[in-house]
Amino acid sequence: MSRRRILSAVLVAVGALVYGVSPIDVIPELLTGPLGLADDLAVWVGAGLGIWKLLSGGRNQNPGRATPPPAV
């Protein structure tokens, strides 16, 4: 695994954490209550998926599995 991918994953994680604790939000919690956590959750889920893709290398998880031929 390259150092560049690891550094990118760390930067994505730090960015997501900074956004989560930042008082500046797209949907502020003070005005919308629990709905205001939706943007934080979306950022964290997106960051998690991005980190997973970076660290897994974006390769196929089932390389030995062939796709079936189309039905005629």
The string of pLDDT tens digits covering residues 16-71 is 999 988 888 888 888 888 888 888 899 999 999 999 999 998 665 555 566 667 77
Task: Give the number of domains in the chain.
Answer: 1
Residue 68 in domain: no
Domain residue limits at 32: 3-56
At 67 the pLDDT is 67
CA distance 5 to 45: 19
Residue 27 in domain: yes
CA distance 71 to 51: 37
Closest CA to 20 of 41, 35, 34: 41
Residue 33 in domain: yes
Residue 32 in domain: yes
Output 70 or 9, whichever has higher pLDDT: 9
Residue 42 in domain: yes
Helices (H), 1-72: 3-21, 29-32, 37-56
At 45 the pLDDT is 96
CA distance 36 to 43: 12
Residue 26 in domain: yes
9 near 49, Cβ under 8 Å? no
pTM score: 0.69
Residue 65 in domain: no
